[in-house]
Amino acid sequence: MAFSKEEIAQRIAKEIKDGYYVNLGIGIPTLVANYIPKGINIVLQSENGLLGMGPFPFEGEEDADLINAGKQTITTLPGSSIFDSAMSFGMIRAQKVDLTILGAMEVSENGDIANWKIPGKMVKGMGGAMDLVASAKNIIVAMQHVNKAGESKLLPNCTLPLTGVKCIRKVVTELAVLDILPGGGFKLLERAPGVSVDFIKQSTLGRLIVEGEIPEMQLN
């Protein structure tokens, strides 16, 4: 069966290494904060000006003054630091962030990403996405494989306005884990439990590369 948003976040959390500074984008990426593996010491950075972000608060324990970039209430950990956006983006532009996890509307087989605007719909602005994709050392995308109409969001070329070009290296969806190869193409690494390779092929409009047996995703 296809993974839920929470399970996508849980799978991405396995990509985080000890000592990383990690930025979580709006949407599915914010859920990753709830699934940091035990024994892993990392620092979560929120682009609105926070180092040391913890998991979401329990109901009734929310502090309206503590929010992430998506305006969701969050918790802070001992030793956390709060500062202005200028310092936050200074960290991002100086490549002090080891891993960025972003949501996306579309990703191309060349690693292009579109994640900020759908023409004709109201948009508040690009936010920090352009700085993140231009400066991040490593970017993983958490997204839905297909849209509500069942159409692929992994494409030969993005149809929506681009946020960044040739900057994405890994994508995790409800169906699969895929690497984007330097020469282009989605290389299938893992599949969601019960999801066939053929179904992933049908759901991927961009060039899909399948080599050998594809294992199922493991969350633990």
Pair 11, 3: CB distance under 8 Å: yes
pTM exceeding the 0.85 threshold for the entire prediction? yes
pLDDT digits (tens, 9 = 90+) for 36-85: 988 899 999 988 899 999 989 999 999 999 998 878 899 999 999 999 98
Mean pLDDT, rounded, of the chain = 92
pLDDT digits (tens, 9 = 90+) for 143-155: 999 999 999 999 9
> CA 106, 108, 113 angle in degrees (round to 5)?
55
* The pLDDT of residue 31 is above 70: yes
* pLDDT band with cut points at 50, 70 and 90 for residue 124: low
* The pLDDT of residue 86 is above 80: yes
Token pair for residue 4?
């839920």
* The pLDDT of residue 122 is above 80: no
Among residues 7, 15, 47, 211, which one is catalytic? 47
99: Cβ contacts below 8 Å, ≥ 6 apart: 15, 16, 17, 20, 21, 22, 23, 136, 137, 138, 139, 140
Active site residue 47: yes
Quote the pLDDT of residue 102: 95
